[in-house]
Amino acid sequence: MAQANPTYTAAVIGVGKAGQDTGTRTGGFRIGYTHAETFKRNPRIQLTACADINADNLRAFMNRFGVSHGFTEYEAMLHEVKPDLVSIGTYVGWHRPMIEKAAEAGVKGILCEKPFVASPADLKAVQRIAQTTGVKIVVAHIRRYLPAFARARQLYNDGTIGRPVMCVAGIEGWDLSEWGSHWLDMFRFFHNDQPVKWVFGQLRVRDTRGFGHAMEDHGVAYFEFENGGKGLVDGGRGLNGGMTMALLGTQGSIRVLGEDTLVIQNAAGQCEERFPAEQFGGWTYAWDCLLNDLIQWVDGGDAPMTGLPNVSRSAELNLAAYISAVRGDRVDLPLEDDTDEWPVEIVARRRAQALDVRS
């Protein structure tokens, strides 16, 4: 008879820096520590191994979490330790091969960071390996679990501000992928994960590089959902008034301040709702929800809202905005494209070639 609540072994690929996060746009983060802390909190998980190409970072991580098996090559870890679950906290360009190798090694579940994949070809390949092997993949769009955003979705759809019209967000100093992928996913969440019909994207690319790839200095994604609601994400410039985002309806609006406060305006007037972290557990709560959903899926339950069948559409939206900028045209979804490199690299290369011609 199968154990009612089996224990799963877990491993972290990409442990991150031994020191503190730099908090910079071009990298220096240590999300692997967050993954490990989430694994350690869960009574059904045994964190048994880790892998990172930087030996110093690897040793610091092993000491911090009491992990006995450390590898500088993740393939060796997969075949020698054979973990049930792995988390992937590396740059986006490495996600596809790591997912494929993990699935081929028999890993049951994968927690992968965002942005999820680097190209339309990568997305198709990951979908194929999941279908072929049955590996369960969740993507770390953890804001779906935060109460303020769940409440905003409810109010946006229950008539409180009329019919949904548009969600708008600006991201000061960031881009459409490393940060913007969260808001693109959140706008799908607010629209109840309806299909996106089309996407317009535009980029200003100069010389910025980070997270292993070219990054735009300014990018915009504009898109429409099946019900006519629209989304606009400005990757590079924030909104006036310190807003995180605004949800607009035919009879009012919802302003999201930070990630814990809603200001609702409609015919009845204005009110404020707050969701302080101390009341629900904050980020710890959100990460625990993500891992629990993965475990329940691996146990045999249904795919969660952060599972590949759903959030692959968020990756598709993200990539379609970039492909639109590459094509100089609107992109209709589903995305029909076989590009096999990070699209911003194409834009950066074109600019460099144009500058060479001018010189």
Per-residue confidence (pLDDT) for residue 23, from 0 to 100: 54
Q: Are residues 205 and 340 in the same domain?
A: yes
User: Looking at residue 329, which CATH number applies to its domain?
Assistant: 3.30.360.10
Going by C-alpha positions, the residue among 116, 34, 110, 102 that lies closest to residue 311 is 116
Q: Are residues 15 and 41 in the same domain?
A: yes
Per-residue confidence (pLDDT) for residue 242, from 0 to 100: 80
Q: In whole numbers, what is the pLDDT of the chain averaged over residues?
A: 95
Which residues, in sequence order, are bridge partners of residue 202?
220
Backbone Cα Rg of the chain: 21
Q: Are residues 19 and 123 in the same domain?
A: yes
Q: Are residues 230 and 199 in the same domain?
A: yes
Q: Does 92 reside within a domain?
A: yes
Per-residue confidence (pLDDT) for residue 24, from 0 to 100: 56
The number of distinct structural domains making up the chain is 2
Q: Are residues 265 and 207 in the same domain?
A: yes
Q: In terms of C-beta density within 10 A (0-12 exposed, 13-18 middle, 19 or more buried), how is residue 159 classed?
A: middle
Residue with tokens 């019900």: 227
Q: Are residues 101 and 160 in the same domain?
A: no
User: Looking at residue 137, which CATH number applies to its domain?
Assistant: 3.40.50.720
> 69 is in which domain, residue-wise?
8-141+283-306
Pair 142, 286: CB distance under 8 Å: yes
Q: Does 339 reside within a domain?
A: yes
3 state SS of 285: helix
- Measured distance CA(48)–CA(62) in Å, rounded: 10
Going by C-alpha positions, the residue among 348, 344, 350 that lies closest to residue 180 is 344
Q: In terms of C-beta density within 10 A (0-12 exposed, 13-18 middle, 19 or more buried), how is residue 357 classed?
A: exposed
Q: Are residues 176 and 246 in the same domain?
A: yes
Residues of the chain by 3-state class (helix, strand, coil), percent to 5: 40, 25, 35
Helix axes 282-299, 31-41, angle to 10 degrees: 70
- Alpha carbon separation from 232 to 199, 223, 237, 330 (Å, rounded): 10, 7, 12, 14
Q: What is the pLDDT of residues 12-29, one digit of tens each?
A: 999 998 766 555 555 556
Percent of the chain at pLDDT above 90?
Answer: 91
State the DSSP code for 92.
Answer: G
Per-residue confidence (pLDDT) for residue 3, from 0 to 100: 57
- Measured distance CA(274)–CA(327) in Å, rounded: 42
Q: Does 354 reside within a domain?
A: no
- Both structure tokens of 29: 């983060």
Q: Are residues 208 and 66 in the same domain?
A: no
Which residues, in sequence order, are bridge partners of residue 8?
45
Per-residue confidence (pLDDT) for residue 19, from 0 to 100: 65
- Measured distance CA(167)–CA(248) in Å, rounded: 6
Q: Are residues 170 and 267 in the same domain?
A: yes
Which residues, in sequence order, are bridge partners of residue 51?
13, 71
Contacts of 134 (CB under 8 A, 6+ apart): none
Contacts of 55 (CB under 8 A, 6+ apart): 72
Q: Are residues 120 and 131 in the same domain?
A: yes
Pair 254, 161: CB distance under 8 Å: yes
Q: Does 357 reside within a domain?
A: no
- Measured distance CA(74)–CA(11) in Å, rounded: 10
Q: Give the number of other Cβ atoms within 10 Å of residue 28's Cβ.
A: 15
Q: Does 349 reside within a domain?
A: no
Pair 203, 347: CB distance under 8 Å: yes
Q: Are residues 199 and 340 in the same domain?
A: yes
3 state SS of 173: coil
Q: Does 253 reside within a domain?
A: yes
Contacts of 312 (CB under 8 A, 6+ apart): 116, 123, 126, 127
Q: Are residues 94 and 195 in the same domain?
A: no
Q: Does 59 reside within a domain?
A: yes
Could you report the average pLDDT of every consecutive run of 10 residues in the chain (359 residues)? 80 87 57 97 98 96 97 98 98 97 98 98 98 98 98 98 98 94 98 98 95 95 97 94 93 96 98 95 96 98 98 98 98 97 97 81
| Global confidence as pTM | 0.95
Q: Does 3 reside within a domain?
A: no
